[in-house]
């Protein structure tokens, strides 16, 4: 065996930010939109072209590439001990219809840049290092989102994943076959540690002038559907005290839901995003209103407290407003994800080593890492994006942020892969 000393984790060990940026811009030509964004819907010809480019680059960097049955692509740089579970990073290569150049693909090409940099520095690792493209993260063409990392983690069955269909009835299984990414590698395998690098998709880091978000949790969510029954009557002859105004009751709940969000600052979110008012006529007191409530928090206990407040508010306001609660139903629950403490510490240590300003942060959106966290020690690294805008063609980031995230990923992965 060669007796080369282990390379120290110093700031001399860094990625090539220019190369990462250029790769992102090259990839963004595939599915480029007129306003500077990207449209690469899952398992379309453009998604295949993006995958093909990644596979070519990964092979040029010396990786072996394997594809599992959900079309997840694993590019592997061998370790000294191939019997050990790998250290994994990755994200998604699909986009929203009017998506940006960074969402998802930054985590994929950031991982590739780690491998290219390990090659540049001549560093062997004890464990293999792998970069993954997770299929159909966005859920835009095939619902639900993150379905392929979900199958990998055992949240969904393979049959369920492959049978997801788009609006034309075409299934993921059919499209994987068609574009040549129906792999034969079985789903799931041991992972030593996993990191996902992603733009924040929110405004906090940029507003606070922080370069790195150390992601400690992903938010839990509860979604509800509510229906109030009042009494339709004429807007003129009906005196105010006699009214049973379902829309007024809903309005009071909307205000209260908003205050519940503020009461659990800074991490809580509480939203009424959809409302249907009947009969929706300008001179009829509304007799029936349907609306939705979406509450989020990274701690399950707090989310439960918010749940209690929502239920109490609905009951109390309905009684005061003299309307009937026809329905108050929680239709969706997604448990909060606490990321692995050691992985989170690796990310924080990397940011500190490079002297990057950083803060702990909670992921407000879903990510493949949320499912991966159920089967492997996992955490995420966020970098800012301009004005916090994402899922938009104008989504943008500064090259120095992109480079900083790559450096933190390199050190986090090296720390776990063993030099």
Judged by CB under 5 A, does residue 368 bind Zn ion?
no
Per-position b or e across 278-302, b if 16+ CB within 10 A of its CB? beeeeeebbbbbbbebbbbbbbeeb
Which CB atom, from 32 or from 365, has the smaller least distance to Zn ion? 365
Strands 337-338 and 212-218: antiparallel
Which CB atom, from 103 or from 395, has the smaller least distance to Zn ion? 103
Which CB atom, from 104 or from 415, has the smaller least distance to Zn ion? 104
Choose the binding region for Zn ion from 44-52, 64-72, 98-106, 110-118 (rule: CB under 5 A). 98-106
Judged by CB under 5 A, does residue 287 bind Zn ion?
no
Query: Which residue of the chain is nearest Zn ion when measured via CB?
Result: 104
Q: How far is the CB of 101 from Zn ion (least distance, A)?
A: 12
Quick check: bond before 340 cis, omega within 30? no
Tell me which H or E stretch contains 303: helix 300-321
Residue 105's alpha-carbon distances to 6, 30, 109, 159, 197, in angstroms, are 31, 12, 6, 27, 9
Q: What is the Cα–Cα distance from 368 to 49, expressed in whole angstroms?
A: 21
Q: How far is the CB of 233 from Zn ion (least distance, A)?
A: 49
Contact letters for Zn ion, residues 209-238 (x by CB under 5 A): ------------------------------
Q: How many chain residues bind Zn ion (CB under 5 A)?
A: 2
Which CB atom, from 358 or from 367, has the smaller least distance to Zn ion? 367
Q: How far is the CB of 193 from Zn ion (least distance, A)?
A: 20
Which CB atom, from 73 or from 260, has the smaller least distance to Zn ion? 73
- Per DSSP, 293 falls in state E
Contact 219, 364 (CB under 8 A): yes
Q: Which of 104, 150, 366, 384 binds Zn ion (CB under 5 A)?
A: 104
Q: What is the Cα–Cα distance from 146 to 136, expressed in whole angstroms?
A: 6
Contact 39, 103 (CB under 8 A): no
Which CB atom, from 106 or from 224, has the smaller least distance to Zn ion? 106
Judged by CB under 5 A, does residue 103 bind Zn ion?
yes
Strands 87-91 and 129-133: parallel
Which CB atom, from 93 or from 249, has the smaller least distance to Zn ion? 93
Choose the binding region for Zn ion from 101-109, 149-157, 231-239, 343-351 (rule: CB under 5 A). 101-109
Q: How far is the CB of 198 from Zn ion (least distance, A)?
A: 6
Choose the binding region for Zn ion from 22-30, 99-107, 207-215, 392-400 (rule: CB under 5 A). 99-107
Assign 3-class secondary structure to 34-75: CCCCECCCCCCHHHHHHHHHHHHHHHHCCCEEEEECCCCEEE
Using CB under 5 A as the criterion, which residues of the chain lie in contact with Zn ion when the complex forms?
103-104
């Amino acid at each position: 065996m060669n007796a080369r000393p282990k390379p120290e984790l110093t700031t001399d060990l860094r990625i090539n930010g220019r190369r990462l940026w250029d790769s992102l811009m090259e990839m963004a030509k595939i599915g480029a939109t007129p306003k500077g964004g990207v449209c690469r819907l899952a398992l379309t010809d453009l998604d295949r072209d993006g995958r093909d480019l990644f596979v070519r680059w990964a092979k040029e960097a010396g990786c072996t590439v394997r594809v599992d049955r959900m079309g997840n692509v694993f590019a592997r740089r061998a370790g000294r001990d191939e019997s050990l579970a790998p250290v994994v990073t990755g994200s998604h290569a699909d986009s929203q219809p009017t998506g940006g150049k960074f969402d998802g693909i930054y985590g994929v090409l950031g991982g590739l840049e780690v491998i290219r940099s390990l090659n540049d520095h001549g560093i062997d690792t004890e464990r293999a290092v792998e970069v993954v493209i997770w299929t159909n993260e966005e859920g835009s063409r095939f619902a639900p989102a993150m379905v392929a990392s979900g199958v990998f983690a055992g949240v969904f069955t393979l049959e369920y994943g492959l049978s997801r269909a788009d609006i034309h009835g075409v299934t993921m299984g059919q499209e994987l076959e068609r574009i040549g990414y129906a792999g034969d590698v079985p789903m799931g395998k041991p992972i030593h540690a996993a990191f996902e690098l992603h733009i924040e998709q929110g405004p906090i880091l940029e507003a606070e002038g922080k370069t790195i978000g150390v992601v400690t949790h992903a938010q839990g969510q509860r979604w509800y559907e509510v229906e109030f029954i009042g009494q339709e009557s004429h807007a003129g002859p009906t005196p105010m005290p006699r009214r049973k105004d379902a829309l007024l009751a809903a309005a009071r709940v909307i205000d209260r839901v908003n205050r519940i969000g503020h009461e659990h600052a800074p991490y809580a979110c509480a939203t009424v995003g959809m409302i249907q008012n009947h009969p929706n006529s300008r001179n009829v007191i509304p007799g029936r209103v349907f609306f939705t409530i979406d509450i989020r928090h990274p701690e399950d206990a707090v989310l439960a407290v918010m749940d209690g407040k929502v239920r109490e508010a609905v009951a109390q306001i309905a009684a005061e407003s003299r309307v009937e609660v026809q329905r108050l139903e929680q239709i969706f629950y997604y448990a909060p994800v606490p990321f692995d403490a050691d992985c989170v510490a690796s990310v924080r240590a990397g940011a500190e080593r490079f002297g990057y300003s950083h803060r702990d942060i909670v992921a407000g959106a879903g990510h493949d890492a949320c499912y991966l966290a159920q089967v492997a020690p996992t955490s995420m690294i966020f970098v800012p994006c301009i004005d916090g805008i994402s899922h938009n063609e104008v989504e943008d980031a500064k090259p120095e942020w992109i480079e900083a995230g790559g450096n933190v990923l390199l050190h986090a992965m090296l720390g776990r892969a063993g030099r």
